Amino acid sequence: MHHCQGHRPTYVEIDLAALQHNFVQARRQAGEGRELLAVVKADAYGHGAARVAPALQQAGADLFGVAMVEEGLELRRAGVSRPILVLGGLYPGQEEELLAHDLVPVIFDLETARRLNARAAADGRRLSYHLKLDTGMGRVGFRPEELPAVLAALAKLQGLVMDGLISHLAVADEPDHPFTAEQAERFRSALAQVRQAGFAPRHIHLSNSAALFSQQFPECNLVRPGIVLYGGLPASCFADRLDLRPVMSFRTSVAQVKQVPVGTGVSYGHRFVAERPTRLAAIPVGYADGYSRNLSNVGQVLVRGRRVPVAGTVCMDWTLIDVTDIPQVQVGDEVTLLGRDNGQSITAEEWAQAIGTINYEVFCQISKRVPRVYLGG
Ligand X SMILES: *Cc1c(COP(=O)(O)O)cnc(C)c1O
Just list the catalytic residues. 41, 268
Compute the least distance from the CB of residue 207 to ligand X, in Å.
8
Number of residues that bind ligand X (CB under 6 A): 12
- Is residue 21 near ligand X by the rule CB under 6 A? no
180 near ligand X, rule: CB under 6 A: no
The interface with ligand X within residues 269-328 (CB under 6 A) comprises none
Q: Which stretch binds ligand X (CB under 6 A): 204-212, 289-297, 311-319, 362-370?
A: 204-212
Closest distance of CB 139 from ligand X, Å:
9
Residues 155-174 that bind ligand X (CB under 6 A): 168
**Contact residue for ligand X among 14, 19, 39, 280 (CB under 6 A):** 39
Residue 130 engages ligand X in binding (rule: CB under 6 A): no
**What is the 3-state secondary structure of the chain?**
CCCCCCCCCCEEEEEHHHHHHHHHHHHHHHCCCCEEEEECHHHHHCCCHHHHHHHHHHHCCCEEEECCHHHHHHHHHCCCCCCEEECCCCCCCCHHHHHHCCEEEEECCHHHHHHHHHHHHHCCCCEEEEEEECCCCCCCCECHHHHHHHHHHHHCCCCEEEEEEECCCCCCCCCCCCHHHHHHHHHHHHHHHHHHCCCCCCEEEEECHHHHHHCCCCCCCEECCCHHHHCCCCCHHHCCCCCCCCCEEEEEECCEEEEECCCCEECHHHCEECCCCEEEEEECCCHHHCCCHHHCCCCEEEECCEEEEECCCCCCCCEEEECCCCCCCCCCCEEEEEEEECCEEECHHHHHHHHCCCHHHHHHHCCCCCCEEEECC
Q: Which is nearer to ligand X, 206 or 310 (CB)?
A: 206
Span from 6-14, 151-159, 194-202, 220-228 in contact with ligand X (CB under 6 A): 220-228
Residue 234 interacting with ligand X (CB under 6 A): yes
Determine which residue in the list 48, 54, 225, 299 makes contact with ligand X, applying CB under 6 A: 225
By the rule CB under 6 A, 201 interacts with ligand X: no
Instruction: Establish if 214 lies at the interface with ligand X (CB under 6 A).
Output: no
Report the interface residues with ligand X, using CB under 6 A: 39, 41, 87, 168, 208-210, 224-227, 234
